Structure formats: structure tokens, C-alpha cells
Structure 1
């Protein structure tokens, strides 16, 4: 075996081969690209939450079907997941087994913008959010990882001072004369 050169030694100085993480998870990369997730930690957090939901659903299923606590716990879990928008209905505990990281990714603000046709694609949706053109309720949101619940979905709008909102209103002929003169 040959000796390493000075440059090779310098490159390998800070490399830890014992705790080396293999980064060949194609499914993870595909999801990161599809939903334009910038931080890998967000995706791993969604995976962790999905696993915890599976574990909690399994624990609830293992309880006696006639136990009143099982009915209450399953109702709470299903209600919470339904209001978050993770599951389509709140009537079946089997839906908890189908919760994945993608379920959480579909509730991110850029996905909601694309679904509401406020942005043509995910890339431009992320750009609009980062530039501060979008608000949810009264608050301006600049984080694309913002999760939108079913209730908050109705309150996703443009910021009043957004140039994009002005262009959309001009295109739709919805801008009144007062706004034209003052903006």
C-alpha cells in the first residue's frame, strides 16, 4: 500500500470513517426534490413524527376494544391528525398506518400555494414565501417549512403590499380606482 500524499492526508484529517453516514437513500432525495425541501432535518423530523404516529396507533390498537380509554385516545388522535390535514377522514384508525413523511410535506405552505393556484410550481412558491409575499392570517410567513392546518388553509393570502398581488388584481380587473391612485 502506498503512502498518502500531503494533500490526501490533509483531506482525510477531518473524515470520520467509523461514524460515516451512507447517503444513498434515493427515496429521501426524491421527496426532498419533489417538495423543494431545503433542510434535510425537516424531512427527518417528518419521518420521526410519522413513526411516532404509527407507534401510538399500534399502542391504541393493542388495547381492549371495549376499553373506554381506547375510544377516547383513538378519537383524540384521529381528530388531531384530521385537523392538521394529515388524514382525509377521522373515522378509521387504520389511516394512521398510512401516514408518511410525504403526508406532512403535502401540508407545507408551498404545496398549499400550488394547490390553491397562487403559484405555478413549487420553486416559485418557495421563492414567494422567502421574499415575504405570503401571509397566513395576519402574520407574514417567510419559512417554506410552515405547516398549514385545515383551518388556516382558508387564510393563506397575499401580503397587501405585495407587487404580485397588484399584478394579479390588475390582470383580473379587480383593482378599484382608490387602490390604483394610492399604490
Structure 2
């Protein structure tokens, strides 16, 4: 528990509310942090900044004249990059780039993709497995749960060769090779 404030402390802090600040949207932020099991708040703030920059860029591109050649090239490049990362569902509509949010980045994190591919039951256990070193993407072992998985890398998420998890999965599916282990 917190000690009771002294009289002069109460006078100083009379107009300050520590539970709901107007500056930050902590209620929404905490909900997103829990939903996607993000342990570092800095990651979420980076995603917010990136999403804001993308939305600003998409808005600037959309304000260009419709017959401008640069508008067509810039929107094609932006949408192609966002589609390859996996932040937008299609690469044909610039309005999709205007709807990119921090949650779009959170959905591309490795633990969430592992849950979607049924490699783990929930994001918390997937985060623990990643931090313990059981997961690799392509040839590299990944220990950072903030790793963003692109559309190309989704197919290459698997267990590390010497992982006990991989051994249990192979035993369960009756595919275990005694020579490997």
C-alpha cells in the first residue's frame, strides 16, 4: 500500500490525476500490450510512430493529382512494401495504407504468427518458447519476440533442430527418427 500523503503533498497534487492522463491513451495501450503479449512498451511506441508515418505518407500521396505519374509509382511502391511486410491485405488500394495501425505491426510479431500457425496455444507461451531459443526462422535462431515476420518468412518458421519441443512433436506424430536424436 501507499502511505497517506502529507498536507503539503495533497495541496501540490490536488489537480493531478494519476489514473487517467489526458496525454496518453494508457487504457487502450495496456489492452494492446496484454492482447499481443508485448513486454516492452517501447516496441509499441515504435509501432505507433511507424504507423503514423505510413498514414501521413499515404495521405500525402493521395493528395497528389490523380493523373500524376509520380502518384501512381509512389503508391505502387508503398503498397507493395506494405503488402510484402503483411500490414495490408491487398496491394491495389491506397486506402488500406491509411488504415495501418500499431496493431497491424503487432499482428506480424513472431509469437502471434506462431499462434496463427498453431505452433503454440497462446501468445504468452509462444513468447516463452522464443525467448528460450526453441524457434528458428529460416536458418537463424530467433530469441527476440519482437521479430516481425514478413509474408515470405511465414513458411520458414519451425523448431530448432535440437529442441525438446520438436522432439515431442515428432514423437506425438510418430515421425521421430532415432538417428537424428
TM-score of the pair, normalised by structure 1: 0.86
Counterpart of 1:79 in structure 2 is: 80
RMSD: 1.8
Counterpart of 1:118 in structure 2 is: 119
Q: Distance in 1 between matches of 2:147 and 2:7?
A: 52
How much does 1:2 deviate?
A: 4.0
Matched, 1:170 2:166: no
* 1:1-183 alignment, distance < 5 Å: 2=7, 22=21, 25-179=26-180, 183=181
Change (3 A) 1:24 1:67: closer
Gaps of 5+ in 1: 5-16
1:34-70, Cα deviation, whole Å (9 max, x unpaired):
0000011100111111110110001101111111100
Change (3 A) 1:24 1:45: closer
1:73-115, Cα deviation, whole Å (9 max, x unpaired):
0000000000000001000001012111000000000001100
Q: Alignment partner of 1:157: what SS?
A: strand
How much does 1:176 deviate?
A: 2.2
1:150-179, Cα deviation, whole Å (9 max, x unpaired):
001111110000000000000000112423
TM-score of the pair, normalised by structure 2: 0.87
Displacement over 3 Å in runs of 4+: 1-4, 21-24
Gaps of 5+ in 2: 1-5, 10-15
Q: Distance in 2 between matches of 1:2 and 1:69?
A: 64
Counterpart of 1:13 in structure 2 is: none
Q: Distance in 2 between matches of 1:61 and 1:171?
A: 53
